[in-house]
Amino acid sequence: MMLNISMMAMALTVSATLMLGCFLISKKSCMDREKSSPFECGFDPMSSPRKPFSIHFFLIGILFLVFDVEIAIILPMIILLKISSSWNWLLVMLTFMVVLIAGLYHEWNNGALKWMT
């Protein structure tokens, strides 16, 4: 128990030291209108460089990434079926699938999966 506490304290100390060091030696940039504007052959830009994007498209992309990672987690479970007992494997898989389906139902219930609103 003491080893775990000392390892966590050491990890926090190292990370805090690195963050402080990066903050102290980082280059401070002053925001200038000319530096922050896009360069188009010496002319002023024709339109705004920051075009709005669809938040709904972003949420669908994030949802896709979440399910993609979950598929990557499920695939090694096939190999674990040979190693572990079938009841433990079944319990872990059912728990994982229930959490997955509950999250999907929550997204569907909130209307995040409706493309045209």
Q: Which residue has tokens 């050491």?
A: 10
What pLDDT was estimated at residue 71? 86
CA distance 98 to 71: 14
CA distance 117 to 106: 18
Domain boundaries, the chain: 63-108
Element (H, E) at 13: helix 2-25
User: Confidence band (pLDDT; 50, 70, 90) for 107?
Assistant: confident
**pLDDT digits 0-9 by tens, 12-46:** 999 999 999 988 887 765 566 666 666 656 666 66
